[in-house]
């Protein structure tokens, strides 16, 4: 079986940036001979079906309202809007297209209006809201709503008995193992080509069709890549939920890898460490950094030099950054210096001409490391000279990013391009704060504005918000310098933009920081 599933390995240590949507449902997978399940009664009322051209339809409003949704009809656009907490489903009269939380879905048959009531194919209801039961045609299934299945005796095979009121049940036979294999292979490819949302959807479909007990290796593989997909998504949007999902799935994958001495163990550990770091960043809770440290340290044991050049350097880098965020400069400096040495040597292997992407990746990390080291030990290498002679080419960490940008062009690697510019913006800001030369501030402004062009609020809300927050801080510096209303206004606008995304529940740290900054701005007025 294992050989059928192509192992998927990306350099997931470089968490890049992407897009998301996720759908959580309950699903039951049991492999006993008699599947006995208890289903929760839903208080569905008046779910009286209509048979239209041989297709069973159900009244939309009564079902959705029974399930706690609000339903509203827009007569002008002939659309129906169903909302429940932060979920939105949009139907259109006569159309098979449905918009589920921004995702396109096609029903088998269109929504119909009968006697002023809207009806949807029941298949939509069972698929979206049904209790999922995986069933291989041989097993018997017994489902009741009153916890008591003892009064039911079933013998033979392939029998289905459902007793109870107000139940929605979706019983389906799983895919064949060959189909599962094809699907995993396709999902892995989607993930590798940065289509995380679609990959998540496919992996979840796979999960409905396999079980941990029957196919532990496949299960672990799906868990790991599902986690990778969520982790990538968290960099773009809905960060907290996505990274929490990722962490959960990493743990499940690790359980298997640990017990089976799987080669993916150390890699996944590192990825889990990075996921904890993201969680810490989003929530502002430094405790998660300690979890990250544990993961990285354990992972590091599996990597030795010179066999695992890149991996080793990356973990050192991750450790260095974690200690930095924890406010432990000595250890941070130690690890970062180590990472810098190894990365610098890596440049001998990855040259601009032969391995351009790796070259850019290494330069990018060196840029970050050099910047952090410069902050940790500012009085080395005679930086003061730069204060008086403004010469941007003097800054070594900027040079690193410029080297990376030789490969990461706006056209070919738009998000990497933007990230590099964002970092350059930070560095110029740092030099302004250090030396007070306004030229640096102007450079920083340019860099941030360049980066923001690539972060659309729809596609990359998190990146958009972070960059806007930083831009706001920068404009505030301008405002203080020139005492100018124009900059105060622009800073306010940038903070406002960031707060469109940073709501207190999902981004507690960023929300409070941006809010505080916006208040300070008010005082300045």
Residues 52-71 that bind other proteins (CB under 8 A): 53, 56, 58
Q: Locate all alpha helices (DSSP H) within 193-286, ordered by sequence.
A: 196-209, 216-234, 239-259, 264-283
**Per CB under 8 A, does 74 bind other proteins?**
no
Which CB sits closer to other proteins, 95 or 260?
A: 95
Say how many C-beta atoms besides its own lie within 10 A of residue 355's C-beta.
16
**Per CB under 8 A, does 308 bind other proteins?**
no
**Per CB under 8 A, does 32 bind other proteins?**
no
Among 9, 74, 86, 159, binds other proteins (CB under 8 A): 159
How many Å apart are CA 69 and CA 67, to the nearest integer? 6
How many Å apart are CA 24 and CA 15, to the nearest integer? 23
Query: What character string, x for contact with other proteins (CB under 8 A) and - otherwise, covers 216-235?
Result: --------------------
State CA 189 to chain mean position distance: 17
Candidate segments 102-110, 372-380, 432-440, 467-475, binder of other proteins by CB under 8 A: 102-110
Which CB sits closer to other proteins, 43 or 86?
A: 43
Among 37, 67, 93, 171, binds other proteins (CB under 8 A): 171
Q: Which residues contact 412 (CB under 8 A, 6 or more apart)?
A: none
State CA 176 to chain mean position distance: 30
The 3-state DSSP class for residue 38 equals strand
CA distances from 129 to 84, 124, 169 (A): 13, 8, 8
Report, in Å, the least distance between residue 22 CB and other proteins. Answer: 17
Among 165, 213, 341, 503, binds other proteins (CB under 8 A): 165
**Per CB under 8 A, does 175 bind other proteins?**
yes
**Per CB under 8 A, does 45 bind other proteins?**
yes
Among 99, 109, 439, 513, binds other proteins (CB under 8 A): 109
Q: Checking phi first, is residue 16 left (phi over 0); if not, alpha (psi -120 to 50) or beta?
A: beta
How many Å apart are CA 325 and CA 283, to the nearest integer? 13
Report, in Å, the least distance between residue 313 CB and other proteins. Answer: 29
**Per CB under 8 A, does 484 bind other proteins?**
no
Among 123, 251, 308, 386, binds other proteins (CB under 8 A): 123
How many Å apart are CA 31 and CA 464, to the nearest integer? 46
Among 10, 88, 113, 161, binds other proteins (CB under 8 A): 161
Q: Which residues contact 423 (CB under 8 A, 6 or more apart)?
A: 364, 367, 368, 371, 401
Report, in Å, the least distance between residue 136 CB and other proteins. Answer: 10
**Per CB under 8 A, does 152 bind other proteins?**
yes
Among 24, 26, 32, 108, binds other proteins (CB under 8 A): 108
Footprint on residues 5-24 left by other proteins (CB under 8 A): 6
Report, in Å, the least distance between residue 224 CB and other proteins. Answer: 19
Among 35, 82, 168, 218, binds other proteins (CB under 8 A): 168
State CA 223 to chain mean position distance: 14
Strands 34-38 and 103-106: unpaired
CA distances from 150 to 38, 55, 373 (A): 12, 35, 68
Neighbouring C-alpha atoms within 13 Å toward the C-beta of 236? 26
Which CB sits closer to other proteins, 162 or 383?
A: 162
Query: What character string, x for contact with other proteins (CB under 8 A) and - otherwise, covers 364-403?
Result: ----------------------------------------
**Per CB under 8 A, does 414 bind other proteins?**
yes
Query: What character string, x for contact with other proteins (CB under 8 A) and - otherwise, covers 178-217?
Result: xx-xxx-xx--xx--xxx--x-------------------
Q: Name the phi and psi angles at 126, rounded to 5.
A: -65, -35
Show the CA angle centred on residue 291, arms to residues 424 and 282, nearest 5°: 45
Among 172, 302, 309, 489, binds other proteins (CB under 8 A): 172
How many Å apart are CA 206 and CA 12, to the nearest integer? 21
Which CB sits closer to other proteins, 209 or 280?
A: 209
**Per CB under 8 A, does 38 bind other proteins?**
no
Q: Checking phi first, is residue 90 left (phi over 0); if not, alpha (psi -120 to 50) or beta?
A: beta
């Amino acid at each position: 079986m294992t050989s059928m599933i192509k192992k998927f390995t990306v350099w997931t240590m470089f968490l890049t940036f992407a897009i998301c949507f996720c759908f959580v449902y309950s699903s039951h997978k049991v492999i006993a001979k008699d599947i006995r399940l208890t289903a929760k009664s839903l208080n569905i009322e008046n779910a009286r079906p209509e048979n239209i051209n041989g297709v069973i339809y159900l009244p939309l409003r009564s079902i959705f309202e029974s399930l706690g949704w609000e339903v509203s009809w827009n007569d002008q656009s002939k659309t129906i809007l169903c909302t429940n907490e932060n979920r939105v489903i949009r139907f259109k009269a006569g159309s098979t297209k449905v918009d589920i939380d921004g995702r396109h879905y096609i029903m088998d048959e269109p929504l119909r209006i009968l006697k002023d009531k809207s009806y949807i194919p029941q298949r939509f209801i069972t698929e979206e809201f049904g209790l999922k039961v995986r069933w291989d045609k041989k097993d018997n299934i017994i489902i009741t709503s009153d916890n008591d299945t003892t009064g039911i005796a079933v013998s033979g095979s392939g029998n289905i008995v459902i007793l109870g009121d107000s139940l929605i049940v979706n019983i389906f036979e799983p895919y064949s193992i060959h189909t599962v294999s094809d699907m995993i292979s396709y999902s892995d490819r989607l993930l590798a080509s940065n289509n995380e949302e679609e990959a998540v959807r496919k992996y979840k479909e796979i999960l409905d069709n396999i079980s941990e007990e029957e196919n532990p290796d496949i299960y672990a593989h799906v868990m790991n890549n599902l986690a990778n997909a969520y982790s990538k998504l968290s960099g773009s949007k809905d960060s907290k939920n996505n990274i929490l999902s990722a962490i959960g799935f990493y743990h499940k994958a690790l359980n298997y890898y640990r017990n089976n001495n799987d080669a993916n163990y150390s890699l996944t550990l590192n990825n889990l460490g990075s996921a904890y770091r993201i969680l810490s960043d989003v929530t502002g809770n430094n405790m998660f950094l300690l979890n990250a440290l544990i993961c990285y340290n354990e992972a590091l044991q599996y990597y030795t030099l010179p066999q695992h050049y890149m991996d080793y350097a990356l973990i050192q880098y991750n450790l260095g950054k974690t200690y930095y965020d924890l406010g432990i400069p000595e250890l941070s400096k130690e690890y970062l210096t180590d990472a810098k040495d190894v990365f610098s040597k890596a440049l001998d292997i990855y040259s601009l001409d032969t391995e351009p992407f790796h070259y850019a990746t290494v330069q990018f990390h060196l840029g970050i490391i050099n910047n952090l080291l410069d902050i940790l030990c500012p009085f080395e290498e005679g930086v003061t000279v730069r204060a008086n002679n403004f010469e941007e080419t003097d800054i070594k960490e900027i040079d690193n990013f410029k080297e990376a940008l030789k490969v990461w062009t706006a056209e070919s690697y738009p998000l990497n391009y933007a990230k590099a510019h964002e970092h350059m913006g930070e560095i110029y800001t740092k030099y302004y704060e250090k030396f007070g030369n306004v030229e640096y501030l102007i450079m920083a402004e340019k860099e941030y504005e360049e980066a923001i062009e690539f972060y659309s609020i729809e596609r990359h809300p998190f990146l958009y918000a972070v960059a806007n927050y930083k831009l706001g801080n920068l404009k505030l510096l301008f405002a203080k310098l020139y005492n100018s209303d124009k900059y105060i206004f622009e800073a306010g606008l940038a903070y406002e933009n960031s707060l469109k995304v940073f709501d207190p529940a999902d981004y507690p740290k960023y929300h409070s920081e941006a809010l505080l900054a916006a208040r300070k701005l008010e005082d300045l007025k």
